Chain A
């Protein structure tokens, strides 16, 4: 029946092959219900060899092994990670409560005021006010605030963790060599894949589940750009700092960070945008907000609901981008003149 049966018979391995009595799993191909076409000559893959010789493991055995392995270390991982990440749950819960229980007539002016303080731009502030009015008018306000709350918390944590990490990277080539591939992996891993191990690790009702997914995904640019920004600081200025006896703390706080600030802020802007992208996907694992409406639109074929929620997400993205860009421009224009 199988292509390679004769091959094993010829080698006289039949007895060894049949010694393994474990029932076979469905092969990956059968799992997806695909049939072999008449013209195909099967490659001697694990699955194909297994069908000829039982003693050879299947590809599914490998994935199953991974599962078993992960499940074995899960309790240990949980004991470590659970208390460590618990503050994330508290922060997310707190922020969500704060953003949803503060009445709109207080929160919207506060947000507009904060946007003005950060951007120093009247037009950006007006834009924010108009978008807020849209959210309020179309009853998307609460959802939008939930999304915003999650983004605030996650971006804040990304900056708190990412900037020091970037600084460490910029100070040591070894650290950079070790961290860069990790960042590359975090950036290229499909967004859904973040969720798989996290679902195993945490209860799906816990906010830290989606919090972790968002932070892992969104922390990359702020780390990268902090590292880059510090490495790009004019070496002659650094040399002058050395020549006048600045110690490493004085150099970092007095010279490197101020001069790297435009790059760091560009990283923060990217981090905010990536948090927004992930918070929508994270609605699959119970993240509240606009993403749940999109999910509802997909699950129940409610085109209108999904579409309007999607539009609201776009507005939120524009809002976050404009405000953070305006802040960045403000720093840049102060700094660009310094070059």
Chain B
């Protein structure tokens, strides 16, 4: 039996009934002088290149439909120019869409008045930015307390709340420093503290860790997962890094040229890429570290080899291989709460680690 380390996320905890928190419906964004006039062309299927060459309008988002579940991390992944940053800015309307709906708890964000929108931004959605975007003329603690100050909470409350989150994020002692005195990783922790201080149900993270170096980035991802286990917020996370996306995502959305090419459970996308573009993407990653036993096991049919080793469904293949020191003759039984739910052999693990084309015959049901 292998212990699940602290930093490994378990996406398959017993299913709680999740509600849709944010629902994006038929969202379009066209940049240019007359975006409304272009919508018809876009709906009739004009390509991004053609729209640019013929009409000099840039197609930002093309018919986006995503349901973001309450308490889940939805990761939106895409390369630069795929429209992911544009998309996240539609959720709190930093960018106005050309057409479509963004429904937060049953209410269309795009129909809110300016005052209502401000209330949503102050209380229900907070945001973390790639370039931190802290206020340079304010101390760390004043930055963290921004949303409380904007709401007009009293000063003592602001300070104690800011203090709590700064302590949680390991920034004790830096309350009176200015952002420029901190390293990039620490600045981004201030950015996260600022978002957490708002007590919003929804957190939007726009490439929040992209500007950080790999080790710090990995630490920040663990920190986010740890906080998420406790806080159960609805998190929308933008990234261009597939490893990061797979580590964090409960629901993964892959964008290309402004449209969604595939979305779903990350392990499923990894095992069943729907498009050559995604295949290309997933072929580069370390599958053993990402794939989990549950995703590759065969269903339990009552028969277990006597020498089978019991493993947890939510550990990665890498952990399985490590636990038997790479012995390829081993067989496993996958058990949850001591009930066997599946079987797996090292042979199957090996096949699962080869990207999709080769694994088609061996593993796909």
Q: Point out residues on A near B: beta carbons under 8 Å.
A: 234, 236-237, 239-247, 250, 254-255, 258-259, 335, 337-339
Contact = CB atoms under 8 A, between A and B. Distances in A.
B127 A244 contact: yes
B136 A237 contact: yes
A243 B94 contact: yes
A11 B137 CA distance: 77
A338 B179 contact: yes
A240 B147 contact: no
Given A240-B129, A338-B178, A339-B136, 11 more contacts: A237-B134, A240-B133, A241-B135, A243-B92, A244-B121, A244-B127, A244-B150, A244-B194, A245-B150, A246-B150, A335-B136
B118 A239 contact: no
Nearest to B118: A245
Contacts of B180: 337-339
Given A242-B94, A339-B180, A247 B133 contact: no
A337 B182 CA distance: 12
B242 interface: no
Nearest to B146: A244
Contact of B150 (A236, A239, A250, A338): A250
Contacts of B127: 240, 243-244
A237 B135 contact: yes
A61 B332 CA distance: 108
A60 to B, nearest CB: 51
B25 interface: no
A247 B121 CA distance: 11
B136 A244 contact: no
Contacts of B126: 243-244
Interface in B127-141: 127, 129, 131, 133-137
27 contacts: A234-B136, A236-B129, A236-B131, A236-B133, A237-B133, A237-B136, A239-B94, A240-B133, A243-B92, A243-B125, A243-B126, A243-B129, A244-B146, A244-B147, A245-B121, A245-B123, A247-B118, A250-B150, A254-B135, A255-B135, A259-B136, A259-B137, A335-B137, A337-B178, A337-B180, A338-B137, A338-B179
The 10 closest A-B pairs by CB, nearest first: A338-B136, A245-B121, A245-B122, A240-B133, A243-B127, A245-B118, A236-B133, A258-B137, A236-B131, A244-B147
Interface string B29-72: 00000000000000000000000000000000000000000000
B364 interface: no
Contacts of B123: 245
B122 A244 contact: yes
Nearest to B195: A244
B133 A239 contact: yes
Contacts of B131: 236
Contacts of A259: 136-137
Contacts, number: 65
Contacts of A246: 150
B198 interface: yes
Contacts of A250: 150
Given A259-B136, A338-B136, A338-B178, A245 B129 contact: no
B108 interface: no
B129 A244 contact: no
A239 B132 CA distance: 11
A173 to B, nearest CB: 15
A237 B123 CA distance: 19
B94 A245 contact: no
A49 B150 CA distance: 72
Nearest to A259: B137
A187 to B, nearest CB: 31
Most buried by A among B117, B123, B129: B129
B181 to A, nearest CB: 8
A243 B122 CA distance: 8
Contacts of A258: 137
Interface in B90-139: 92, 94, 117-123, 125-127, 129, 131, 133-137
B183 to A, nearest CB: 15
Nearest to B127: A243
Contacts of B134: 237, 240
Contacts of A254: 135
Contacts of A247: 118
Contacts of B118: 245, 247
A330 to B, nearest CB: 14
B121 A243 contact: yes
Nearest to B114: A247
A230 to B, nearest CB: 14
A157 B136 CA distance: 30
Most buried by A among B125, B134, B136: B136
A245 B119 contact: yes
A66 B150 CA distance: 56
Contacts of A236: 129, 131, 133
B111 to A, nearest CB: 17
A88 B175 CA distance: 47
Nearest to A336: B180
A317 B363 CA distance: 85
A237 B127 CA distance: 12
Contacts of B94: 239, 242-243
A335 B138 CA distance: 11
B133 to A, nearest CB: 4
A254 B146 CA distance: 10
A121 to B, nearest CB: 22
Interface in B185-199: 194, 198
B93 to A, nearest CB: 9
A263 to B, nearest CB: 14
Nearest to B178: A338
A79 to B, nearest CB: 42
A338 B129 CA distance: 18
A338 B94 CA distance: 25
Contacts of A337: 178, 180
